[in-house]
Amino acid sequence: MVRTLDRQIGNEAAEIVDPGEILRTAVAMEAVREAQSEVVHGTFVTLIDPQGHVVATNLADPSRMQGWSWHNLIVMHPASHIMTTRNLGIRLADGGLLVVGEDATALVELRQRLVRSFFIGFSILLALGLGAGIVLGQNAVSRIKDINATLESIMGGDFSRRLTRSSYRNELDDLAVSVNLMLDRIEFLMENLRQVGNEIAHDLRSPLARLREGLELAQLGNDETLSRSVIPWAISETDSILA
């Protein structure tokens, strides 16, 4: 936008003075006065002689800078306000200065609004980012606490407990899936071990009952021959149990 404005000011300056022509202040004065009568609203032309005196201008406070510059001036009518102009100062051959400017107040205000909007948007995004970070951090801490509580219950003997999973697919959910699969496998193996133990106990119940009954009979009897015959029988029963 500034480049477009500079191009427009440069074209207006070229219409007043020929860039290839060497002009002095006295010669440029006529061209400036003619230009002042033709310029549109918002365009400003100022001619300053080599001594620094303003020869012709349509500004109450003209810029006196050579080259490109910004200039703020107070306008009293129709209402008091500050107007910003973009100016091009061209040094003449005898030391005079020709300044051509355009009202750039709208451009400056637009730039300020854009900068203000950028900072407001950035602040909102920053606040949202911080808020999201806090929420995600709290969720992660809560999930870790739940995992610790579940693992403590499992270590206490409750193998039916499982880690909960959220609706989001994240690293904690992947960990929960792996741990739950491991717990399922452990529970399956422990159930098999329990069944094997029950079967072994069932198989041992009958021979142990016979062995106990025979030993009780030998203990109650007074026949030494019977007692001596029970011992080989008990050894045989024990061997069959251990086989």
- Please, what are the domains in the chain? 2-103 (3.30.450.20), 171-242 (no CATH)
Three-state SS string over the chain comes to CHHHHHHHHHHHHHHHCCCCCCCCHHHHHHHHHHHHCCCCCCEEEEEECCCCCEEEECCCCCCCCCEEEEEEEEECCCCCEEEEEEEEEEECCCCCEEEEEEECHHHHHHHHHHHHHHHHHHHHHHHHHHHHHHHHHHHHHHHHHHHHHHHHHHHCCCCCCCCCCCCCCCHHHHHHHHHHHHHHHHHHHHHHHHHHHHHHHHHHHHHHHHHHHHHHHHHHCCCHHHHHHHHHHHHHHHHHHHC
Per-residue pLDDT, 44: 77
pLDDT at 208 over 50: yes
Task: Please say whether the beta carbons of 86 and 65 come within 8 A.
Answer: no
Alpha-carbon span 26 to 107, nearest angstrom = 34
pLDDT averaged over every residue in the chain: 75
Mean pLDDT of 215-240: 68
- Give kind and range of the element (H or E) at residue 54: strand 54-57
Read off the pTM.
0.45
- pLDDT one-digit tens code per residue, 57-79: 766 666 666 777 666 665 544 55
